[in-house]
Chain A
Amino acid sequence: IQLTQSPSFLSASVGDTVSITCRASQDIAVFLAWYQQKPGKAPNLLISGTSTLQSGVPPRFSGNGFGTEFTLTISNLQPEDFATYYCQQLNSYLFTFGPGTKVDIK
């Protein structure tokens, strides 16, 4: 299963609301996770199972979707949110990551 993300790059300002879309080449039900990665650091899990926010992740992050189309929304963008975001799926015990979306400061 292949994952695509759009956009690949996103320029936004503090306080904006942004959305990132992840599309799967086949139906993956709700088995999708989102990660945030900052330069030189390991990825950090934000959301699992499409919409379950991980402990300690601010509620301005939210996820939704089902099947083949999923969205990560960041409301009221904060300076610490500028990073690269990856989606990741599990299907038939095989994992795939999306190509990433870089969120930069406008």
Chain B
Amino acid sequence: QITLKESGPTLVKPTQTLTLTCSFSGFSLSSTGVGVGWIRQPPGGALEWLALIYWDTGTRYSPSLQRRLTITKDASKDEVALTMTNLDPEDTATYFCAHSPDSALGHFDSWGPGVLVTVSS
């Protein structure tokens, strides 16, 4: 059974840097084709894909946020981290991490419960 869980600060000040961690179990991020992505959702809003890291350490970023994002993995700990710089109140959202089983099809079949991050001074 695949499980994922996000962790990190829930309140961040504007201009600060946010680092979120996704801890997962039930799969290996070393298996061919597998990826872990980050998706966010502002209160009452739609889903927005942010970044994804693949089994081969390849990374992909949303073009609109690429300059502010870094995604990394620690295979020994079964963790994926997302760093976002220069936070703004518009970055207030629930941040989800999710498992992508197939790099060709590109869907997310298991999700963490999400963590609500509020950006406010």
Contacts and interface: CB of A to CB of B under 8 A. Distances in A.
**B and A form one assembly:** yes
Interface of A: 31, 33, 35, 37, 41-45, 48-49, 54, 86, 88-90, 93-100
A7 to B, nearest CB: 15
Interface of B: 37, 39, 46-49, 52, 60, 62-63, 96, 98, 103, 105-109, 111-114
Contacts of B52: 93, 95
Given A45-B108, A90-B106, A94-B60, A100 B46 contact: yes
A86 B60 CA distance: 21
Contacts of B48: 97
Given A93-B60, A94-B60, A95-B52, A43 B47 contact: yes
Contact of A100 (B47, B106, B114): B47
Contacts of B107: 33, 45, 48-49, 88, 90
A95 B106 CA distance: 8
A95 B46 CA distance: 14
Nearest to A37: B47
16 contacts: A31-B105, A33-B108, A35-B47, A41-B113, A42-B112, A42-B114, A43-B47, A43-B96, A48-B107, A88-B49, A90-B107, A93-B52, A93-B60, A93-B103, A97-B48, A99-B46
